[in-house]
Structure 1
Amino acid sequence: MTSTYSPENIFRREAEDGSTQAAQAQHLGEILSTHVRKITRNHGQRLRSAWEQLNPLLNRLQDSANRGELIKEARAYARDAGERYVLTLDVLRERGNNDLAHEAAGTPPVLIYDYEVALDGRDLSPPVNYLLLKIKPPQGVEVFDWKRPYLIIDPRAGHGAGIGGFKQDSQVGVALHGGHPVYFAVFRPMPEPEQTLADVMRAEAKFVAEIRRRHPEAPKPIVVGNCQGGWATLVLAAANPDITGPLVINGAPVAAWSGRKGENPMRYNGGLLGGILPALILSDIGGGVFDGAHLVSNFEQLNPGRNFFGKYYDLFANVEKSRHSFLDFERWWGGFHYLNEAEIHWIVEQIFVGNRLSRGEARIERGRRLDLRSIRSPIIVFASKGDNITPPEQALNWIVDTFVDEHEIRIRGQRIIYMLHDKVGHLGIFVSSSIAKKEHAEVTSTLKTIEALAPGLYEMVIDEQTGEGVHAHFLVSFRERKMSDLAGFDDSRDDEKMFATVSRLSEMASEVYDMGVRPMVQASFGGQTAEFLRKTHPSRVQRRIFADENPVMKFVAQAAENVAKARQPAESGNPFLGLEKVWADSVVQTFDFWRDIRDAAYELTFFGIYGQPGMLRLGAPNAYQRKRMDPGELAHLPEVEEILLAIDRGGFEVAVIRMLILMAESRGAVRRDRLERSARVLCKDEPFASLGAEKRNALIREQTIVVEFAPERAIATLPDLLTEFEDRQRAIDTVEFIAGSHDEMDPQTVKTLEKMRAILGVPLLVGSGPVADPLEGVVQKLLPARARKKAASDA
């Protein structure tokens, strides 16, 4: 787009603007069409389903009338519904009382596990409201100090901490049952005065240091980041590349501009609600503190049918059975927490409106730039197509924004694995028992061996299950992927230019507000006014109005007790129960229909405003991407050329690692059982065990570069690394032990193996290959022959 306004450019600019407007009209038409199709298909199917349910109910009503039992069933239903209504009110009363008690106790984390405070952020300098908890394993579960510890970081997104350990079948439970020490980073409701996210990041780094101090014999800790704790984990690792082990990022919105047309309405909030301005105003009204209840309200608006009616009807429909689970979850959902103005300012500006972290421009701690390429730890990203808060595009596109392509990931020695679920929702990623038993359990198993994986971009695929329940095991593979595979999740990224306009307008509005309006707002609010506004927030009022502090509710407890004693539920075949369910579904559908209309209007309004040529021109300075080198230039990087110059130098360790990478490259995927054998050899057998983790990872990275840029020479120079036949035979046997049976190998893998055998002069093996670890229990014989001869000569 032409950027200058000189006379000679005027006609060219008008032509470009006309083309832009035509494309904009087509874009809006596609969005409208997408929404219309989705609304028609979804609600049409639901109406047909409702009619299919209603027909037999009407027939049953007719049968009851014919038998003269209609009045009897109506009375039974009326009594049952009245009793359930009283019991539901009692549950809501208990929820309100729980909220008050929870707040009076300081809103502790909702972990179901016992814990001890390992480090209090208030004792650090500068102080923060974070604490490091050590989880005590439940009875019958044993953990080992030498096993790699876990640190779980929960999100500060309006709620309190503990969602990752909310149930027995949880991230905490999975790690504990694996014998791993588990630590949890939680936070108090109110931040410390002047606390910033840089202070939080430093505190989390000290938490990691404390864990390493407590477990000196264990590998570096695994850090698990949930939702906004995910990008916080990336910030921690980017600012402190050497302190952590593997990172697990669950449902984390990192590339906040990304999404698909007709979906993900939350990403338009910045453009339609004023960018960063609402966060600043609400912080000033709150006396310099941002109330997390505002964030919770945003989440609830995404699915009003569920949050304002559906979950309450589910409670009403089966109040005795649902009471405990409802109250259990609501204790977390209602535990509102706060952020300082500086914290919410950074979050909105750097991530949600500015999208700077994904593009390598986020700055923290006195202007220090955060570059995600500097992270050295392996990263596992878990996303879901059913997540309407963090869609896969937002969870994964930061990889595309950060690296030139998959080759750069390999060159940097990075391992990035993503896993995509088909339908679980955002909260289900953290609290679903089925996810804990499958995806989180398999991730935990993978983390034991992930550092034996060659650098690159992979998709983790859970293929099939053997066994049931706690004895279930899954066949897991890691399939090599390209950046183009990630790009396929998004329909297009052209619309992100419009978010750049939002970012620039937000910056301008923030500056005007700072200079002209903020002093007056700050002078008008604070103290008792801020506290009053917090207490009267609708999200709090709708819960506390049912507590015992409301005099009307004091009669509910006795009424519920009386109902429970004389409870007479209607029979399950009562047709009025079926009619109630159909009615409830229709109410939820009505909510959903108007939500879908709202979302369509929301999206059309956003693109209608920010897709105009003038708006795009205004946002052009913010529509930048980080500077990228041409993929062809990667081979000429000094570190790559230096490694290739030494392609014929090394020994047994280098040769085995190179051959393993060659085998993995030939098949394009790695099964976890092979990865586990590889980790066993590289971590426990000599001479690899003596290398240590840092040297071993450096060798894997170097040999990955060799195989990446000189695959033929990588094979041709193997004899230079293994000069003695005995070493060659042992190296081939080791590689074949890890690779497994020849019958399970891909034809290309067998071909690569035959080529390596031929170049080394090792006869082709007839059969399925070694079944036992050829290096197990061997120490002296492992030394390369030349080293053994030298040792003998020295003796």
Structure 2
Amino acid sequence: MPDAADPKRPAAAPPSPLQSLAQASDYLADAAQRSVLFLDVMRKRSEQYRAHMAQTAPHVLDYAAELVCDGRTLPRPVNYGLVRIVPPDGVTIDPARRPFVVVDPRAGHGPGIGGFKADSEIGVALKAGHSCYFIGFLPDPMPGQTIEDIARAEAVFLETVIARHPQAREKPCVIGNCQAGWAVAILAALRPELFGPIILAGSPLSYWAGVTGANPMRYSGGLLGGSWLTALTGDLGAGIFDGAWLVQNFENQNPANTLWSKQYNLYSKVDTEAERYLGFERWWGGHVTLNAEEMQFIVDELFVGNKLASGEIRTTDGIAVDLRNIRSPIVVFCSKGDNITPPQQALDWILDLYDSVEDIRTWGQTIVYTVHESIGHLGIFVSAGVARKEHGEFASNIDMIDVLPPGLYEATFEPRAVAAGEADLATGDWVMRCEARSLDDIRAMGGNDAADERRFATAARVSEINLSLYRAFAQPLIKAMVTPPMAAAMRKLHPLRLSYEAFGAANPFLAWLRPTAERVRRDRRPVDPDNPFLKLQQQISDQIVDGLDAWRETCERLSEETFRAVYGNPVLQAAVGIDPQAARPRRAARSLAHQALVERRVAELSAKMTTGGVREAMIRALIYVGMARGTASELGFAAIRRRYEQTGATAPLPIDTFKALVRTQFFLIVLDEAAALAAIPEMLPADMGERRAAFAALTEVVEATGPLTAAPAARLAEMARLFGLGSEPVRLVAATDRPARKAS
């Protein structure tokens, strides 16, 4: 009989009973040894957990750090702090470059995930020559601290960073991971002058958004009846919300991994997997707490209420948090494989705030997004591959992002080895391009229709009612019954904490484990990978995973159908005051004051149509040609810098100045393209040699990103005529007058 894998090869003879017995014996010996080693890793995990939680400021940073500002000393004390990352040996920091500030999420785990490895957000920023700071937190909140207190403390931290870097020509780039992303966005809306570019990694800003048949986590608030359960949990904690419950929510999203795969992967590869497993568990088990008031704000205002994108959140002094007030470029990094913050939750706030790309431009906003195809939520912050690619390119090209004309862009990444144009201008293994997009590109990813929006609005109203009922009838009794010692005891008995404690030194039934594991390591006999019983083990594991995945999918489908049926009921909607005919229950309010400001700005720009010299003319021409491409590349930006250096300038043009020039010239073209182009000859010098040199520089920058297609080539030819060079071929002018290129 032929072999199924190779029909031409005869099938191997079945093993004899004696061989099968030997294979079974080998497998059982290996399985017993792996079981002991697995339990020993669990023991180490428990010891690591106890040692980690015993620290005053536990974190998982892979870098040395020094405290710069302690939030506990502020007028409104918080448990947050600012530290400076000490550059490792061999890393050179350029004091003239903008600093980076990484803000870690406080979503149940402790701080440090942004610098968990050498290849991380912090690592790539240091490698690019930027000073790096980290905003982390202690395990326990200060009494009475609120989300607003934390925002004001982070404003102090950013002021401190800016003051420490007087040589830096630009404001700090701030990275907000997951929960920290929306916190950074809130602060940037209130204090826009403190920020350079903002990178939101895996950060939900539009909490109702998602796709039917996917993203089931967004239904959980409605299915639980709203935020009354959050209030109950905080009251059972005597005013403290245990972050372990947030971690439990993450665990519940993937029962196959939680209940089986994570442990099985360690068990099946215990000889090689222990170090990686323990490294991750050090962060995963670092549970922290929040004040009940903090968590209630997060659930009411964000998760269930979805008030951030609609501008309904207000500070205690009545200031509305409007994300359109942010003046810095916003970079959104999300993934299709992220079931915690899917692309819709990361991006649909743009649809809530703006009517079109033109609307984005009138607010002077630049938004760049990139969507990974498969990486999971934690991989956005933890994966070394993501750090070396996406985060590395963001860090290397942050100045280019800062000067992009207002609008909506998608960042794409191409291997340097196959990139068109002058690839020697790239700084890493990838070439980043920012391609112009419209709101339809975001809508094409899927999202809610009007009926979905009404369902979530109904759930939010029901949540408010249930919370009021709980506070009126049950909360006083719960608060009277629960004491702080009782709450502390309940936190210790949380199932996630018990899973760490169960294998620790306090367990008398595991006293034999350490010496036995040492003997097993000395006598380790791994089974042959072709052992049929080992293959059977893997098949059984795959079946367990498939079964748990099927269970999850069934539960998710039932949850979605229940949510849609309950909150889509027109009787319930009418009862809580939701108009069943509303096309969209809530959107950010339009601003008449902003419209008046835009009109004044248009009048001011119109007066500048012929203002400026050769520099303004060059930027205007470059933007005009580039608009035909619809793409901005790091190669083109690098070519601008190289050309500037070749002029012999002693001091580089500050980014803020260059950014203002680009934006002014961009808006002039958008405002009146014909008039803007007609003014170019008047802005150029009379000397033809200077014009020829300027056009050569323009051509070098335009062609640095690769061959020109018909539309940009036609625009470049049009520029040649405006420069007074229309009688000479464009390519000949470029070849004759510009400096020779380096070999790629």
1:327-346 alignment runs, 5 A limit: 327-346=278-297
Q: Distance in 1 between matches of 2:646 and 2:495?
A: 58
Name the residue aligned to 1:101.
51
CA spacing shift, 1:681–1:639, aligned 2, 3 Å: farther
Cα distance in 2, alignment partners of residues 437 and 224 from structure 1: 16
| Partner SS state of residue 363, structure 1 | coil
Given that 2:219 and 2:559 are in contact with CA atoms closer than 8 Å, whether structure 1 keeps it comes out as: yes
What SS class does the counterpart of residue 43 from structure 2 fall into? Answer: helix
Change (3 A) 1:232 1:361: same
In structure 2, what is the Cα distance between the partners aligned to 1:710 and 1:687?
Answer: 33
- Give the C-alpha shift of residue 700 in structure 1: 2.1
Instruction: Summarize the Cα distance change of 1:306–1:718 in structure 2 as closer, same or farther, 3 Å threshold.
Output: same
Offset from partner CA, 1:52-107 (integer Å, 9 cap, x none):
99xxxxx98x72236x3000110110010011001101111111111111111135
- Paired position in structure 1 for 2:135: 185
Partner of 1:397: 348
Query: Which position in structure 1 is the counterpart of 2:721?
Result: 758
Corresponding residue for 2:611?
Answer: 649
Instruction: Name the amino acid aligned to 1:482.
Output: S
Task: Show the counterpart of 1:736.
Answer: 699
| 1:236–1:435 CA distance, 2 compared to 1 (3 A) | same
Cα distance per residue 1:265-314 (max 9 Å; x no partner): 10001100122211111111111111100000010000011112101001
Report if the CA contact (8 A) 1:146-1:217 is conserved.
yes
**SS, match of residue 458 in structure 1:** strand
- One-letter code aligned to 1:500: A
Pairing partner for 1:308 from 234, 252, 259: 259
Change in 2 beyond 3 A, CA 1:682/1:300: farther
Quote the residue 2:431 is aligned against. Answer: 475
**Residue identity matched to 1:383:** C
Cα deviation, 1:15-48, whole Å, max 9, x if unaligned, reads xxxxxxxxxxxxxxxxxxxxxxxxxxxxxxxxxx
State the Cα deviation string for residues 761-786 of structure 1 (Å, max 9, x = none): 2344443654799899xxxxxxxxxx
Q: Of 672, 678, 695, which aligns to 2:640?
A: 678
1:196–1:342 CA contact under 8 A, matched in 2: yes
One-letter amino acid of the counterpart of residue 567, structure 2:
Y
Deviations 1:709-748 (A, max 9, x none): 3112211122333363456444433322321269711221
2:236 maps to which residue? 285
Using the alignment, how far apart are the partners of 2:226 and 2:705 within structure 1? 59
Distance 1:772 1:545, change over 3 A: farther
Q: Secondary structure at the match of 2:15?
A: helix
Please identify, of 308-317 and 672-681, the stretch whose mean Cα deviation from structure 2 is larger. Answer: 672-681
Change (3 A) 1:366 1:741: closer
After superposition, the Cα gap between the structure-2 partners of 1:467 and 1:183, relative to the gap in structure 1 and judged at 3 Å, is farther
In the alignment, which of 388, 412, 415 is matched to residue 437 of structure 1? 388
- Between stretches 562-571 and 448-457, larger displacement belongs to 448-457
C-alpha contact 2:396 2:427 (8 A) present in aligned 1: no
Partner of 1:449: helix, strand, or coil?
Answer: helix
| Cα distance change on mapping 1:633 and 1:211 into 2, 3 Å | closer
Specify the code of the residue in structure 2 equivalent to 1:501: T
2:60 match: secondary structure: coil
Distance 1:760 1:472 in 2: 35
Aligned match of 1:517: 474
- Does the alignment pair 1:668 with 2:625? no
1:541 corresponds to which letter in structure 2? L
The one of 534, 538, 555 equivalent to 1:598 is: 555
Aligned partner of residue 248 in structure 1, secondary structure: strand
Q: What's the offset of the Cα at 1:354?
A: 1.0
Q: Give the AA of the match of 1:663.
A: V
Residue 321 of structure 2 is aligned to residue 370 of structure 1: yes
Match of 2:149? 199
| SS of corresponding position for 1:462 | strand
Partner letter of residue 393 of structure 2? E
Aligned pair 1:609/2:572, yes or no?
no
Which of 379, 404, 412 aligns to 1:428? It is 379
Instruction: Tell me what 1:225 maps to.
Output: 176
What SS does the corresponding residue of 2:76 show, helix, strand or coil?
coil
Contact 1:741 1:768 in 2 (8 A): no
Q: How many residues align?
A: 716
Quick one: structure 1 residues 400 and 360, their matched pair in 2 at CA, closer, same or farther if it must change by over 3 Å?
A: same
**Structure 2 residue 8 is matched with structure 1 residue 85:** no
Change (3 A) 1:358 1:467: same
Indicate conservation of the 8 Å contact 1:408/1:634, yes or no: no
**Unaligned segments of structure 1, at least 5 residues:** 1-51, 54-58, 777-795
Residue pairs, 1:435-474, within 5 angstroms: 435-466=386-417, 473-474=429-430
| CA distance in 2 between partners of 1:668 and 1:166 (Å) | 37
Bigger fraction of residues in helix:
1
Looking at structure 2, the residues matched to 454 and 160 of structure 1 have their Cα atoms a distance apart, in angstroms, of: 38
Specify the SS of the correspondent of 2:512: helix
Give the distance between the partners of 2:714 and 2:577, measured in 1 at CA. Answer: 54
Give me the whole-angstrom Cα distance separating, in 2, the residues matched to 1:682 and 1:502: 57
Change (3 A) 1:252 1:743: closer
AA partner of residue 745 (structure 1): L
Aligned amino acid, residue 479 of structure 1:
E
Instruction: Judge conservation of contact 1:361–1:370 (CA < 8 Å) in 2.
Output: yes
Change in 2 beyond 3 A, CA 1:361/1:179: same
Task: Tell me if structure 2 keeps the 8 A contact 1:416–1:457.
Answer: yes
Shift, 1:676, TM fit: 2.2
Q: Shift in Å at residue 697 of structure 1?
A: 2.5
Shift of 1:688: 12
Tell whether the 8 Å contact from 2:366 to 2:408 is kept in structure 1 after alignment. yes
Q: Distance in 2 between matches of 1:137 and 1:266?
A: 39
Supply the AA of the counterpart residue of 2:83: L
Q: Normalising to structure 2: TM-score of the pair?
A: 0.91
In structure 2, distance between residues paired with 1:615 and 1:268: 17
Does 1:272 find its partner at 2:231?
A: no
SS in 2 for 1:339: strand
Q: Aligned equivalents of 2:196 and 2:427: distance in 1?
A: 28
Q: Please report how far the alpha carbon of residue 394 of structure 1 lies from its aligned counterpart in structure 2 after TM superposition.
A: 0.4
In the other structure, the counterpart of 1:31 is none
Which whole-Å CA distance do the structure 1 matches of 2:484 and 2:589 have between them?
A: 47
Partner in structure 2 of residue 485 of structure 1 = 441
SS at match of 1:767: helix
Question: Does residue 767 of structure 1 match 2:731?
Answer: yes
Quote the offset at 1:654 in angstroms. Answer: 2.5
**Shift of residue 689 of structure 1?**
6.3
Deviation digits for residues 468-496 of structure 1 (CA, Å, limit 9, x no counterpart): 9x996223221100011111111443312
Distance 1:707 1:212 in 2: 34
Q: 20, 23, 26: which is aligned to 1:70?
A: 20
Indicate the larger mover: 614-623 or 164-173. Answer: 614-623
For normalisation by structure 1, the TM-score amounts to 0.85
CA distance in 2, matches of 1:410, 1:344: 35
Paired with 1:306 and 1:300, the residues of 2 have a C-alpha distance of: 8
C-alpha distance in structure 2 between counterparts of 1:774 and 1:70, whole Å: 76
| Equivalent residue letter for 1:79 | A
The offset of 1:156, in angstroms, is 0.8
2:483 aligns to what SS in structure 1? coil
* Cα-to-partner distance string for 1:345-365 (whole Å, 9 max, x where unaligned): 221122111111112222234
Deviation at 1:628, TM superposition (A): 4.1
For the residues of structure 2 that align with 1:226 and 1:752, how far apart are their CA atoms?
41
Secondary structure, aligned partner of 1:137: coil
Conserved in 2, the CA contact under 8 Å of 1:655 and 1:722?
yes
* SS across alignment from 1:169: coil
Partners of 2:230 and 2:732 lie apart in 1 by 64
* CA distance in structure 2 between the partners assigned to 1:688 and 1:633 by the alignment: 42
